[in-house]
Structure 1
Amino acid sequence: MTRRVTAPLAIALVGLLILFDHATADLNPYKAPPLLALGSGTAASGGFCGAMPD
């Protein structure tokens, strides 16, 4: 009984999350970062916490 209630509820919540994200996102494929940047020449941004200071 609980699976018949829980599974559709979980699927509905995931669907609502996807709809909410799609409705509020500013989709621009030309500004998006590459999905996989393996060998693309794109430099990594951000820091590494274990790096020694310069």
Structure 2
Amino acid sequence: MTRKATAFTALAGLLLLIGADLLGAPINPYQAPPAFAFGSGQVASGGFCGALPN
């Protein structure tokens, strides 16, 4: 593949992903988790590899 074909394919894929995202479910900021939850009182969920066992 040439550079132009690769660049076109990458940009077309990016535009496809953006279009699919925009056509998906609308964003609801009232149910979205906080981006940074410092001091919010929410308990962390998920695992952390460096956490010591209880």
TM-score (ref. length: structure 1) = 0.65
Give, in whole Å, the separation in 2 of the partners of 1:36 and 1:12.
32
- The structure-2 alpha-carbon separation of the partners of 1:40 and 1:19, relative to structure 1 and needing over 3 Å to count, comes to farther
User: Structure 1 regions of 5+ residues with no counterpart?
Assistant: none
1:11 aligns to what? Answer: 11
Distance across 1 between alignment mates of 2:4 and 2:46: 45
TM-score by length of 2: 0.65
Runs of 4+ in 1 over 2 A off after TM superposition: 45-52
Q: Which 5+ residue runs of structure 2 have no aligned equivalent?
A: none
